Structure 1
C-alpha cells in the first residue's frame, strides 16, 4: 500500500520499448501514483527531466543515444536523495551495474522484471525521498528560527554595549556620537590594514567601549577643569584596568574579549611611555594601537567645554608628528590615506 502522502509524487519512466514503458506506467498508476510520465524517446525524456521537478526516475540503460548512462551523466548534479533513480535494464553484467550505480543510480533492477518487487522498491525510494525532503524543510525552518533569534540577540547585545559605552562617555562630558565615530573610524583603519571582515566588524563594536572604566573614576577627577595632580593622574590611569575588569568579567565572548583588550591597552604608546603597563611597539595589541589613534584624533577635532576643536589640518599634522612616538607608524600611514573618509564620518556623526 502506498502512503497517502506519496500519491502526488512525480515519477518518470524512460524506456525505448513502448510496451515496457506502458506496463510500468499503468502499474505505477494502479498503486496510487497520480503523476506518472513515460517517455520512449530518451532525448525528450532527458529534456523534460532537466526542465521540470521530479521525485523518482525509472531508467533503462540500453537505449539509442542518449542511453541511460548518458542521462545519468547529465543528471549528476541532482540531489540523489531527493531525486532517486532506479535503473531498470536488461544489462545485468557486473560492469554495467557498477557503472550505473557509480554514475548516480540509487537502485538496480534487471529485466525481466519481478513487478511486485519493483513496486516495493518504488515505494521504498519514494518514502525515503519524502522523509529526506521533510527533514530538509524542518532543518530550514529551524535554521531560520535560529538565525532570527541570533539577530535579535545580537541587536540586544549591541544596544547594551552602546548603553554601557555612552554611560562612560556622558560621565566624562563626552557625547554618544563620539563613541560611534571611534567605532566607525577604527573599522575604516582595520579595513585599510587588510584585516579580515569578521575582525573589522568586531572592532567596530568593541572600540566604543574603550573608556568604559571611567565609570569607576570619581567625578571630581573626571570633570576637574584644571590640570590633575600626580595622585589624581594615577587614579585616572586606573580606568584602563577597571574597564578591562568590567569587560573581562562579562563571560566568554570574542567581542567582549576584544573590548577588554582595547580598554586595558588603548593608552599605551608605541615608544613605551604609555600606561598602565608601559608596553612598547608590537607588544601593544593591534586593536589598541588602532583605537588609540582614533580616540586622540577625534578628541583633538572635537570641541569641549574646556577647549576648542582643532582644525583638520592641525590635528592631522599632530598625528603625523607622533608617528613612532605615541602611535604605530604603520597605522598612522593607513590613517593618513583615510583622512578624507574619517572627516566624512565626523560630518555624518557630528555632535550637532
Structure 2
C-alpha cells in the first residue's frame, strides 16, 4: 500500500470515553494516517459515516444509544471488504464477540488493547481495503473497455446490416429511411406488447432486412411498373426464401436468425392466404406478423416513382379492415393505439 494512499485513508474512531478516544486517535496519527476522525458522541459518528466515504472504523460496542451493535446494524449494507470495522471493546464475552462479528465486524479486540497489535491490525485492514478498491477499479476499467469494444463491434455490425438492407431496397426503388422506419415501428409495437427489451432491440435491427432477398430477383420483374403476370409473381415470391437463404447460414447470430425468420415469413397472412408456406394464424412467427404490419403501413403511406402514397386515413382504415385477414388481430389492435406515434416516426425519418 503506497505511503501517500495510506496517509489519505479515512479512519474513524467512535468511543464514548474521551481518554480512550484521544489515545486511539494519537496512536493512529503516529503511524502516518493523515485523516483520522474521532467521535465520542456515537450518534454524530454514525451520521458522519452515513454521509461520507471512509475506509476503516474502530468501534466501541458498550456505549449510550446508539451502541456499537446498533451502528453495525445501521451499516449493514456497506461493502465489508472496502469498509473494514475493528471492534475495540471491553465486552470480551463470547456472546458479544459472536454478535459483533455476525453484524459485520471484521476484527475484534478487547480492552485494554495492546497498541502495537492494534496498529498492525489497522495496517492489515487498510491494506485489504486498498487492494479491494484497486481490484474494483481495475474491474470497472476492464468492463468499460469491453463495453467500448463491444459498442464498436456492434456499430460495425449494424452498418453492414444497414448496407445489406439498403442494397435490396435501393434496387426496389425504396429508400434507406423506409427500412429505418420499419425497424423503429416494429420495435415500438414489440415494446407495447411487453416483449423483453433485448428482443425489442434485436427486432429493431433485424426488421430492416425483411426484403433482402429481392437482391436475387431479376430487374425486369422487380422494377416492372405494371402488374406482374402469374409467372412473374411466382418468381417475385421467391425473394422470401432467397432472403432466408442469405441470412440463415449465419452460425449462432441471434440477430441474423431473427432476420432470416422475418425474411421468410413476412408475406404470410393471418388467414393462410400468404406465401411462401401458406402459414395461418399463430403458425406465423410473431416477429414476421409485426413486420408485415409495419411494412404494409409504410409502403401504403410512401410515394414512389410508380405510385402516389395513400393518406393517413385511407391507410389506417385499410389496416383495420385487414384485421383477421392479412394481419394478426391483436397486432392491429396494438398498432391502432400507436398510429399517432407511428406517424411521428415517419415525420422524423421522412424520405428525401
TM-score category by the smaller chain?
Answer: over 0.9
Which residue pairs with 2:202 in the alignment?
202
User: Which aligned runs of 4 or more in structure 1 are off by greater than 3 angstroms?
Assistant: none
Distance 1:56 1:280, change over 3 A: same
Distance 1:196 1:110, change over 3 A: same
Structure 1 window deviating more from structure 2 (51-60 vs 39-48): it is 39-48
Distance 1:221 1:97, change over 3 A: same
Which residue pairs with 1:168 in the alignment?
168
Consecutive unaligned residues of structure 2, counting only runs of 5 or more, are none
Which residue pairs with 1:220 in the alignment?
220
Offset, 1:29: 2.3
Matched position secondary structure for 2:105 = coil
Distance 1:168 1:286 in 2: 23
Structure 1 window deviating more from structure 2 (314-323 vs 262-271): it is 314-323
Structure 1 window deviating more from structure 2 (39-48 vs 238-247): it is 39-48
Matched position secondary structure for 1:64 = coil
Offset, 1:86: 0.4
Distance 1:43 1:348 in 2: 57
Which residue pairs with 1:158 in the alignment?
158
Offset, 1:257: 1.6
Distance 2:166 2:177 in 1: 9
Distance 2:308 2:2 in 1: 80
Structure 1 position 29 matched with structure 2 position 33? no
Distance 2:84 2:67 in 1: 18
- State the superposition RMSD in angstroms: 1.9
Which residue pairs with 2:294 in the alignment?
294
1:234-249 aligned within 5 A: 234-249=234-249
Matched position secondary structure for 1:7 = helix
Distance 2:85 2:278 in 1: 70
Structure 1 position 49 matched with structure 2 position 74? no
Distance 2:291 2:88 in 1: 69
Offset, 1:123: 1.1
Distance 1:291 1:324 in 2: 16
Distance 1:190 1:51, change over 3 A: closer
Structure 1 window deviating more from structure 2 (215-224 vs 244-253): it is 244-253
Distance 1:155 1:123, change over 3 A: same
Offset, 1:3: 5.3
Structure 1 position 188 matched with structure 2 position 204? no
Which residue pairs with 1:107 in the alignment?
107
Which residue pairs with 2:123 in the alignment?
123
Distance 2:40 2:189 in 1: 65
Matched position secondary structure for 2:87 = strand
TM-score by length of structure 2 reads 0.93
Structure 1 position 12 matched with structure 2 position 15? no
Which residue pairs with 1:315 in the alignment?
315
Offset, 1:106: 0.7
Distance 1:63 1:342, change over 3 A: closer
Distance 2:14 2:318 in 1: 79
Distance 2:45 2:157 in 1: 55
Q: Deviations over 1:203-261 (max 9, x none)?
A: 22211110011111221221122333333222221211111122222332222221111
Distance 1:184 1:178 in 2: 10
Distance 1:264 1:178 in 2: 19
Q: Deviations over 1:110-151 (max 9, x none)?
A: 122222222221111010000001111111111222222222
Offset, 1:316: 2.4
Distance 1:319 1:37, change over 3 A: closer
Distance 2:85 2:264 in 1: 63
Offset, 1:348: 2.7
Consecutive unaligned residues of structure 1, counting only runs of 5 or more, are none
Distance 1:159 1:125 in 2: 51
Structure 1 window deviating more from structure 2 (11-20 vs 84-93): it is 11-20
